[in-house]
Amino acid sequence: MAELTVDDAAGARGDRPFVVLGVSAGIAAYKAVDVCRRLVDAGAHVAPVLTERATRFVGRATFDALGSEPTQSTVFDEASPIPHTRLGQRADVVVVAPATADLLARYAAGLADDLLTTTLVATAAPVVVCPAMHTEMWEHPAVQANLATLVARGVVVVPPEDGRLAGGDVGSGRMAEPATIVAAVHEVLAGRRAGAPDLAGRRVLVSAGGTREAIDPVRFITNRSSGKQGHALAAAAVRRGASVVLVTTSGQARPAGAEVVEVETAAQMEDAVLARATDADVVVMAAAVADFRPKVVGDTKLHKSDGVPELVLEPTNDILAELGRRRRPGQVLVGFAAETDDVPERARAKLVAKRVDLMVANDVSAPGVGFDHDTNAVTVFGADGVVTTVPLVDKGVVADAVLDRVVPLLAASPD
């Protein structure tokens, strides 16, 4: 990969980047050796910091040989009287690989009871965490909640991958490959998230939630969408510097910094989105818009004593398809496809039919995926043929993964 550099515009030093490599106690610690080697080969000054329990998995001598300075493990037995302050202040980036469930919990809570966590709390540098743990641990609500807390604070997460785990099991939770981790560090040092937001100056329109289509003044037809993924996308876009408009049916907390437009029906969603789409650089249709609505809406409540009413449905307008027809040159259009069967085939068909750049598909019949969950697992299909798979993670992580696909499309499009 290219030599690691520090973006002077981001306010970091312009010399050899100083990387604190934290290693916590997981079997994936052996892969941190390769991360260390790759960072040094790319031109970084690497200061290894191992937790005491991590030394049961990998030896200090290995990192002493590969790193740029002696490995440190405790606050008290090092040459510096305050090693966490020295490391935290000098760091251009802090990388934790692997980041165990315990490490994520302590960092999210602000605990500082060893050299690695005190360094994390003492630094103002960007932090990259690379979770690694067994599938059941990775999917636990407490782990996902801690991860969401860290993401909200601006911590960069390199999601784990599916694959072979300790003990011979196969599933999600395997730490990302060293090359992927080093690439993420390269992006941070280039200023992509560290002081130079990659959506700065861009206008992003996001829709969220499931619409409600009235049967009478009391009853309505809807779906299971909570709006959490759309709200996470809006929050991530704000954090990355965009001017954001969120059109939502959801009662979720409003993302700070976003303009929020509240709607209820598919028709109201259509009017609000189409009225604002022309000025948007990016439109993300994450809302679960009803495909059908009652053709006739009762003026008064329907009563059981009146017998079973005849409910005749009519199709709603396809907002995403209309956006595809109206899109202006350079605008990036993202759709969502919540499916229960033939997910890749249906997503690719929608990608073409609706003329979008990206189609984010998920199997909402899978545990923990999609509607009303805090987690999601998606596959992002691009019109350019590129496919990105995001395993079951917090919806905030999914939001950043989707925006990671959007940014290069903006860069490649005409102004």
CATH number at residue 283: 3.40.50.10300
Average of per-residue pLDDT across 189-201: 67
What share of the chain in percent tops pLDDT 90? Answer: 58
pLDDT at site 65? 95
What CATH number did the domain enclosing 100 receive? Answer: 3.40.50.1950
Is 364 part of a structural domain of the chain? yes
Which one from 146, 223, 362, 376 is the annotated catalytic residue? 223
Q: Which domain holds residue 165?
A: 8-189
Report the C-alpha gap between 139 and 162 in whole angstroms.
13
Which residue's structure tokens are 């008064």?
300
Digit-coded pLDDT (tens) for 9-31: 333 444 689 999 999 998 999 99
Q: Considering its fold, how many domains does the chain have in total?
A: 2
Q: Which residue type occupies 27? A: I
- Does residue 284 fall inside a structural domain? yes
| Global pTM value | 0.60
Cβ distance 205 to 277 under 8 Å? yes
- Check if 223 is active-site: yes
Contacting residues for 225 by C-beta, under 8 A, at least 6 apart:
209, 210, 250, 287, 288, 338, 371, 372
Cα atoms found within 13 Å of the Cα of residue 404, Cβ hemisphere only = 20
Q: What is the pLDDT of residue 8?
A: 40
Query: Mean pLDDT, the chain, as a whole number?
Result: 88
Tell me the one-letter amino acid at 277.
A
Distances (CA, A) of 131 to 93, 182, 325, 376: 17, 14, 41, 16
Lowest mean pLDDT among 89-103, 177-191, 283-297, 340-354: 177-191
Domain boundary among 148, 165, 189: 189
In a domain, 183, yes or no: yes
Q: Token digits for 257?
A: 């910094």
Angle at which helix 101-109 crosses helix 115-122, to 10 degrees, equals 40
Query: Residue 375's pLDDT is what?
Result: 87
Q: Give the separation between CA 263 and CA 13, rounded to whole angstroms.
A: 47
Distance CA 126, CA 395 (A): 21
- Cis-peptide, bond into residue 48, ω within 30° of zero: no
Residues 6+ apart with CB under 8 A from 370: 229, 338, 362, 363, 364, 376
Of the three residues 167, 189, 211, the one that is the final residue of a domain is 189
SS3 category, 328 = coil
Q: Is the pLDDT of residue 67 over 90?
A: yes
Residue position matching structure tokens 């037809």: 221
Q: Contact, 376 vs 159, CB < 8 A?
A: no
